[in-house]
Amino acid sequence: MSEPQLCVTDLHVAYGPIKALRGVTLHANEGETIAVLGANGSGKTTLLRAITNMLARQQGTVRINGAETAGVAAHQLIRQGLLHVPEGRGTIGRLTVRENLRLAYDLRPTDHSFEEALERVFARFPRMGERIAQRAGNLSGGEQQMLTLARAIVNRPRLLLVDEPSLGLSPVMVDEAFAVLREFRASGMTILIVEQNAHKTLRFADRAYILRQGQIVTSGSGADLLHDATMLSHYLGSG
Structural domains for the chain: 1-81+157-239 (3.40.50.300), 92-155 (no CATH)
Q: Please say if the pLDDT value at position 1 is more than 60.
A: no
State the Cα–Cα distance between residues 192 and 159, nearest whole angstrom: 8
State the Cα–Cα distance between residues 207 and 198, nearest whole angstrom: 12
Write down the pLDDT at residue 228: 84
State the Cα–Cα distance between residues 20 and 4, nearest whole angstrom: 24
State the Cα–Cα distance between residues 145 and 165, nearest whole angstrom: 7
The model's confidence at residue 239, banded by pLDDT at 50, 70 and 90, is: very low
**Hey, how many other C-beta atoms are within 10 angstroms of the C-beta on 29?**
16
Strands 190-194 and 159-163: parallel
Residues in CB range of 134: below 8 A, 6 or more apart: 96, 97
Task: Quick: pLDDT tens for 117-159.
Answer: 999 999 999 999 999 999 999 998 889 988 999 988 998 899 9
- Give the pLDDT mean for 35-39: 93
Identify the bridge partners of residue 35 per DSSP, sorted by sequence position: 193, 208
